[in-house]
Amino acid sequence: MMARKKGFVSALAGLAMLATGSGHAFALDGEIAIEGIDQETRCAIGFGKKCGIDYAVKRGLLATGTRPVFPEGLFCRTIDDTWAMDYSFKRKRTSFHGGIDMPAPYATPIIAVADGVVVGKFPATNGQRGIEIVLRHRPQDTGLPFWIYTQYAHFQEMPDLQLGQSIEKGQALGPTGNSGTDSFTGAQNKRRRPAIHFAVTYAHRGDYARTDQAVVPAEGNWMDPVALYRRMAPFDSLAVKAMTAAEKEIPIPVKVDDGSFKPVTTKLVWPYECSHRPLAQSPRNSDQKERKSLHSKKSSGSGKCRDGNVDACREKCDDGNQRACKSLKTLTQ
């Protein structure tokens, strides 16, 4: 553990300081050119513009029905946008949510779920995910028989982390924000509430490619982020989906804001700290948008979509109006 000093670049990660064809100045340990990744994996994990959603579904991007169960007596941040929920009504094409979202106040520290190495850093202009960090975890880091990749997105600002830097379980990565573009306008989405977008991919091989938009594990698959905490097979989404309701209630190991871990020996933790005290709640959206939304709802009297206006419906849905989301889904089918 002493070798994993915060702020220092892993010696192993720096061994391959070579020019690559991916536009990066150097390659990290395990990194290969994107040409070394098969096309199906590129489409499934990298979401290429010319790729359909079927590739991702085949590699595990499908709803499973899992539910996190937190330690008794602790307050923990919970999920609002669930794994693989249908996002087609908010996108320009058929789309499923490639992760889970947990709202939290601006600047709430997002923490690493396990020991690992930084293998991806992406700016706010990267897409709907906004500012993003990706960590790579060896099997010994998680206790699982795979190479795991965890993705943390919507940071308020770019974390002060370097590619190749070793990270410890529970280490603060950066502040929660609402960065990310609107899929229709391409501009920063100011309506999004602050939250983490947390995603998990995994592979039996340890090599991966890093593009300008994603980290793509060789022969990689999607994993339900809640299923990560099962710590025992199955992990593939089809098998998890087939589990009983009781099996889908998954105990979650956590870091507490007093610095302790529950259980003490866990290799994995939830990406936010839990507390013995009630947690501050996340605003639904930016202050400016919240004022506009409240004014609009007072004026209309209900906050419902009017006259089949898709744009107005989408705006109210982004503000958290579930009735508007249902209307939007109907309008865009």
What residues does each domain of the chain span? 31-283, 284-333
Type of residue found at 294: L
Half-sphere exposure of 32 (CA within 13 A, CB side): 14
Q: Would you state the pLDDT for residue 314?
A: 59
Count of H-run helices and E-run strands, the chain: 7, 16
Q: For residue 273, give every residue at least 6 positions away whose Cβ sits within 8 Å of its Cβ, in sequence order, or none.
A: 109, 111, 170, 254, 255, 256, 257
- H/E stretch holding 133 reads strand 132-137
Tell me the pLDDT tens digit for each residue of 211-259: 999 999 999 999 999 999 998 999 999 999 999 999 999 999 999 999 9
pLDDT band at residue 279 under the 50/70/90 scheme: very high
- pLDDT band of residue 310 (cuts 50, 70, 90) is low
Q: How far apart are CA 75 and CA 106, in angstroms?
A: 18
pLDDT, position 188? 84
How large a percentage of the chain has pLDDT more than 90? 64
Query: What phi-psi label fits residue 259: left (phi over 0), alpha (psi between -120 and 50 degrees) or beta?
Result: left
CA 35 to chain centre: 25
Pairing of strands 31-32, 208-210: parallel
**Start-end of H helices in the chain:** 39-46, 53-58, 139-142, 237-241, 287-300, 310-318, 322-332
The residue ranking higher by pLDDT, 18 or 254, is 254
Q: What b/e sequence results for 225-247 when a residue is b if at least 16 CB atoms lie within 10 Å of its CB, and e otherwise?
A: bbbbbbbeeebbbeebbebeeee
d(CA 327, CA 209): 40
pLDDT at 289: 40
Cα–Cα separations (whole angstroms), residue 174 to 3, 5, 111, 123, 261: 22, 17, 8, 13, 20
CA–CA distances in Å: residue 333 to residues 62, 86, 96, 98: 20, 12, 15, 21
In CATH, 31-283 is 3.60.20.10: no
Looking at residue 80, its amino acid is D
What are the distances in angstroms from CA 199 to CA 28, 168, 215, 306? 21, 18, 12, 35
Q: What is the pLDDT of residue 240?
A: 98
Q: Which of 305, 301, 307 is nearest to 317 (CA)?
A: 305
Helix (H) or strand (E) run with residue 119 in it = strand 116-122
- Residue 207's φ and ψ, nearest 5 degrees, are -95, 160
Q: How far apart are CA 84 and CA 166, in angstroms?
A: 30
At 92, list the tokens.
């320009």
Distances 7 to 67, 160, 161, 172 between C-alpha atoms, Å: 35, 9, 7, 12
Per-residue pLDDT tens for 21-41?
Answer: 334 556 899 999 999 999 999
C-alpha closest to that of 99 among 127, 119, 72: 127
Higher pLDDT, 106 or 300: 106
Strand partners, 296: none
Question: Whole-number mean pLDDT of the chain?
Answer: 84
Coil, helix or strand at residue 261? strand
This prediction's pTM: 0.80
Segment holding 151, helix H or strand E: strand 147-153
| Per-residue pLDDT at 277 | 98
